[in-house]
Amino acid sequence: MRPISSDLHRRGFLAAGLAAMTATGADAAAKPFFAQRKLPISIQLYTLGPDVAKDLDGTLGTVSKIGYKAVELASFLGRTPTDLRAAIDRAGLICRSAHIQGRGGLDGDLAKLAGDLNTLGVTNAVMPIFYIPDRFGRAPAVGETFPGFLRRIAEGMTADDWKMNADFLNAKGAVLKTSGITIGYHNHNPEFAPLGDTTGLEILIKNTDPAIVSFELDVGWAAAAGVDPGALLTKHKGRFTQMHVKDLKATTKPNYVLSMDPTEVGSGALNWKTLLPAAYAAGVRGFHVEQEPPFARPRIEAAKISHDFLAGVVA
């Protein structure tokens, strides 16, 4: 028998190596989006309503068992930052982002706020809705609901009001930055209402300092305004660092007045197999599940449906 040549040995080795590399690449490509990029799936605790405050340890424990690795705060839930941090730690979760209202939060004692956020481990303080101009008052009028109050304000916001909001974010963000905290802004859908040849969101992006102010795109509210969230992320690459992973039914009619038909992530109209990688490519690293009421089932069940769908998305 003729001995096998060294050339055949070499070619066999190269072929085996190429096959292994191809298999490894295929395996990586088949991995779910979040596992492949080693990103935690987070939940905005607003999703769970009053249950979190009533039973903090129990709710956070369930959130952790579902598979969430992080939470985003909508408030301090009536706890001190120290007690809240302890509860989050006990559940094996982390918290890097918190929604802080403009009025009664960002316009208050920023040194104290920064200390509280540092205690929690929060590095992103996100203003969850526009700072309300003084002329609208601070509370609903007699007989007016709070959602109605917000809709009235949203319809009355001018370009100057949005510029005021940009100035506010720049000023507060410059102070918080010295404590290692980045200020952010979270949209609803009034930000997309036309104002001549621009919108409130475009004014905010144009007039805020990228070194100080970041944005958290709520893709559900963007879609509720008739906006393609993927195209928006691509257009403003680098400005959006966080995202609210929110879905909505196809029955939602485009509007700018805080209206949508919500549903669990993966059960609605958004294409997550394209949207998630588009967000990542645009610079988003914080992904927080959030769902608006009304709910078709208990909130914690809805949260599990959203998590399990996202954990399996290959994109």
Residue 176 has pLDDT above 70, yes or no: yes
CA end-to-end distance (rounded Å), the chain: 51
Asked if residue 73 has pLDDT above 60, the reply is yes
pTM higher than 0.95: no
Q: What is the pLDDT of residue 30?
A: 87
Q: Which of 286, 211, 275 is nearest to 244 (CA)?
A: 286
Contact 314, 276 (CB under 8 A): no
- 48 C-beta neighbours (distance < 10 Å), count: 23
Q: What is the pLDDT of residues 292-301, one digit of tens each?
A: 999 999 999 9
